[in-house]
Structure 1
Amino acid sequence: MEGRTVSRAEAADLLGRQEDHFWEFKSARSGGAVVQVIAAALANAEGGEFMVGIEDPRTGQGLARWRGFASLEDANFVQQAMVDQVEPPVPYDIEFLRVAGRPELGWACLVTVHKSPDVHRTARGEVPQRRGAQSRRLKGTQITDLSLSKGARSYEDQPLGDYGLEELRDEEELHVFLGRYSPRTSAERFLRRQRLVDRDGCLATVAGAVLFAAEPPAVVPKKCSVKIARYETAEQLPDRRHLKAPPTTVDGPVRPLIERTLAAVTRIIQSVPVLGPDGSLSPMAYPPEALKEIIVNAVIHRDYNLSDDILISVFDNRVEVRSPGRLPGHMTPDNLLTDRFARNPTIVRLLNKYPDAPNKDIGEGLDTVLSTMKAARLKEPRFFVEANAFVVVLEHTPLARPEELVLRYLRSNPEIPNRIARRITGIASEARMKRVFHRLRDAGQIEPVPGRTGSRAAWRLRRD
């Protein structure tokens, strides 16, 4: 067991953290049963940290909450609970912290729990799993699903043959991260503690390179960039003649990669003119939160074992995001909103440690996409799995019924041909669009424009 002293500022940073999917405080008066639950819950999810020796905020503020152990030996029960009372033992690292100039506050125990390939049970035989800021007990098929999701070692843990600790510890993004990380630590200590290097401490892992290397594609053997393509068409199966320009490639560590990708996609989207229901042209627009969540999920949950880039295609009427790899574990398009499973738990957990983490609201991302698209009166996104990719489609199709959109257009324009009607309603089929016109005709709302047939045919509001 090792102990070290932290500054009052570092202690304040630690105490200021909010409990979430990766972090929790526990009192020094907590027993082994409490430690078992939080440790097993984190190991059964994506891993995380908890700190024993910190009281609930209701007991006081600031350092008044720091009520640690008088000696390191007094905290022996923490390790015993994780090793002797959880089956199998959880993988963890531990260190003890005390506040400079305040030895009377005692030692607080900071525990880092790593995601495990095993299903961990407490001494009572319960299987807890971290969900948001709670540890929930799994039952029945939930335990079966967890078991099926475990087992295979994630590719993010694989060591890289020619990219070592010496290079990774000098990367600029790592020092940007550590400059805002608390408690303060050296680059080498952090990389070893977070298992971003192999057991010998010589080779960096895929996760370490993806998170912090200046140019991950240069050191990771598989493709890991983002490509952005603009297709000037609304067709479902475009070809190269529809490409406005060669696809743009975006690289960089995960956090900058997400920011650069979001900025590039937003610029392209805003250059796409969209025909509105009133007949006017305006720049295409999506809820920024929806775009961000879809891009974040594609980057952090992709399968880095597949040698393929994320492909984002911007069409005249939609945005498609293809992330390499099928859904991980027991996940399916049907349980995306109720279950969670991270293919790359280390990347997910450490990205969440940035103060401005792009994945701050763990477990709420897709709910945000759905709610913001609905608020913008756009259709719900579509999710589906292809042979080797997970695909999300954000359609720029109004939520209103096609009949309503046609009538709205005709209130500002003298006529509407099939071609224009399909653009404003998102209907791809000419025959289906004709059926919409016929329903409006039968309801006495519209009539054909006299003398216009074939490709020149159009409709107008009925004139009595």
Structure 2
Amino acid sequence: MSCKMTIEQICGAVESPFFDRKSARIDAKALAVHLIAFANADGGVIAVGVEDDGTITGIDSYAENINELLRAPFDFCKPSVRVETERLSCTNRNGKPDHILLIEVLQSSDLHANQADEVFFRVGDKSKKLNFEERLQLMYAKGTRYFEDTPVPDAGLDDLDLGFVREFTSRIGYRKSPEEYLRENKEFLSERSGKEEVSAAAMLLFGKNPKHFFPRARIRFVRYEGTEARVGARMNVIKDVMFEGRILQVTEKALEFVGSQIKERTYLGADTRFVTEPEYPEFAWKELIINAVAHRDYSIKGTDIQIKMFDDRITVESPGTLPGIVRLNNMRHVHFSRNPKIAQFLHEYEYVQEFGEGVDRLYEVMEAAGLPQPEYKVEAFMLYATIRNTKLGGNCGGTTPVTTTDSTTDTSTVATILAFCAQPKSREEIMTMCGLKNKNHFIKAHLKPLLESGQLRMTIPDKPNSRNQKYVAVKTED
């Protein structure tokens, strides 16, 4: 048994998603509820012979019932729940030698129910009975059933874009007709009771108008000014864009737009040459977005994938918890596809590269760039994935950023500005590059003298306050 708990820990621990205490008097059917809940979640430990308040009543006086409890994982759970047991010696509340029974419930990739076909899931310190929708979502998450294979109500072959299907089949070298591909492969089209049915995967991948059936199967991009989201009169949203269509269209449009929003930083390298690099590695932000498209829970129809960009981070919010047996502590090395058909489709377009290696490579890429590790968290039915660009506020990979103080007017600042403006740059870009914060001082001490001396020129003459105005260095003859 892998669980190592002392008597003191068993009596003093707070009941949680991973630990519970039960009296030895508990009925075997009642114990099965908690066994099922732990198995359907992340596993856990039940200490039998300890009351809810931590008082040790022991198991030795309840030998017959303990035998019933030991059969509960097999007699009252469908399918059987895997457990490991251990008896710990202790002293009960009466001061007599006794024992506690520890039952470690192992996490399961199966969906477990009791004899009444009721499904339970561990939430906090309670074993929650799931309703029909929650049970379906758990089935999808565990892969005992794939939502992408379920039929779309009122959808037919006419709702699919056969021209796009033909493009795809040509790409993968399939020589038969688009209709044959849909009927003969992956159950995109199936027949039930004499009626042809279109699967969710077929609609999301090949539909003429997927949003008619899946209105929230889209990506929303929101850009905030600053490092926090504000609402009301202080709202700081500066971009809010929606991407809709088939999965390939949504993916392509989102990646292209987000790429246009990634800033570049220029700094003085170790060899005194200027180096330009993006604030995030390309693979990193693309991996977050593609992962969300490939693995989101499309059965959750009340929300969409959201990409939220702040000055210091990008967070991608994806509907659905971690699928199968993937958990926060093993996700670098354990792979499970919630939507295998969608993932395979994206693989054909080279968006999904090597199955199961993306998250691990994401960590490696961020580390190589000198950036913090990716951050993942699960809240309710949403997965949040975040990457940060904090290195860019400090040292750039062992090289020296070009920075000055606002009170400096030395020649190195002039040289920096002129080198940086070899291509047209905005006033804000120049100030950021030089580490200058005081706009008025920058204009008076740096920008105006360079314009008057002819070393800089405005791209739109005589419009220094234009929002589109940029400045470019004037090349001189040697």
- The equivalent residue for 2:151 is 159
- TM-superposition CA deviations, 1:11-70 (whole Å, max 9, x none): xxxxxxxxxxxxxxxxxxxxxxxxxxxxxxxxxxxxxxxxxxxxxxxxxxxxxxxxxxxx
Q: For residues 274-285 of structure 1, what are the structure 2 equivalents within 5 Å?
A: 285=279
The reply to whether residue 291 of structure 1 matches residue 250 of structure 2 is: no
Within the candidate set 249, 255, 263, 1:262 is matched to 255
Equivalents in 1 of 2:400, 2:283: separation in Å? 28
Partner residue in 2 for 1:392: 385
Q: How far off is 1:281 after superposition?
A: 13
Q: CA deviation at 1:162?
A: 2.2
Equivalence for 2:329 = 334
Q: Which residue of 2 aligns with 1:205?
A: 199
Letter in 1 for 2:286: K
Show the 5 A alignment for 1:173-322.
Answer: 173-193=164-184, 194-200=186-192, 202-220=196-214, 222-235=215-228, 237-239=229-231, 241-245=235-239, 247-270=240-263, 285-306=279-300, 307-322=302-317
> Which residue identity is paired with 1:249?
M
Query: Cα distance, 1:305 vs. partner?
Result: 1.1
Residues 338 and 256 (structure 1 numbering): CA distance in 2 closer, same or farther, change over 3 Å?
same
Query: Percent identity between the aligned chains?
Result: 30
Match of 1:125 in 2: none
Letter of the structure 2 residue corresponding to residue 300 of structure 1? A
Alignment of 1:38-187 (within 5 A): 145-147=108-110, 150=142, 152-168=144-160, 170-187=161-178
Structure 2 CA distance for partners of 1:166 and 1:414, relative to 1, 3 Å: closer
The structure whose Rg is larger is 2
Partner of 1:345: 340
Question: CA offset at residue 255 of structure 1?
Answer: 2.1
- C-alpha distance in 1 between matches for 2:396 and 2:155: 59
Asked whether the 8 Å contact 2:223–2:310 carries over to 1, the reply is yes
Structure 1's consecutive aligned runs of 4 or more residues displaced over 6 angstroms after TM superposition are: 273-278, 280-283, 402-405
Change (3 A) 1:317 1:399: closer
Rounded Cα–Cα distance in structure 2 between residues aligned with 1:383 and 1:326: 11
Paired letter, 1:199 = E
* Cα displacement (A) at 1:145: 3.8
Deviates more, 1:311-320 or 1:261-270: 261-270
CA shift for structure 1 position 230: 0.7
- CA change 1:289–1:145 in 2 (3 A) is same
Equivalent-residue separation in structure 2 for 1:361 and 1:395 (angstroms): 24
Q: What CA deviation, in whole Å up to 9, does each residue of 1:396-416 have, x standing for no partner?
A: 11189x7999x967x943489
Kept in 1, the 8 Å contact 2:220–2:304? The answer is yes
CA contact (8 A) 1:274 1:316 kept: no
Contact 1:255 1:358 (8 Å CA) reproduced: no
Change (3 A) 1:180 1:275: closer
Compared CA separation, residues 281 and 218, structure 1 to 2 (3 A) = farther
Show structure 2 runs of 5+ residues with no match. 1-78, 80-103, 112-140, 408-431, 434-478
Cα distance in 1 for partners of 2:171, 2:257 equals 27
Residues 255/151 of structure 1: CA separation in 2 closer, same or farther (3 Å cut): closer
RCO higher in 1 or 2 (8 Å CA, sep ≥ 6)?
A: 1
* CA RMSD of superposed structures (Å): 3.6
Tell me, in whole angstroms, the C-alpha distance in 2 between the residues paired with 1:331 and 1:232.
Answer: 34
- Opposite residue 340 of structure 1, the aligned amino acid is H
In the superposition, relative to structure 1, how do residues 172 and 292 fare at CA in structure 2: closer, same or farther (>3 Å)?
farther
SS of equivalent residue, structure 2 residue 317 = strand
Point out the more displaced range, 144-153 or 329-338: 144-153
CA distance in 2, matches of 1:218, 1:297: 24
3-state DSSP of counterpart to 1:198: strand
Q: Give the distance between the partners of 1:180 and 1:283, measured in 2 at CA.
A: 34
The CA deviation at 1:164 is 0.7
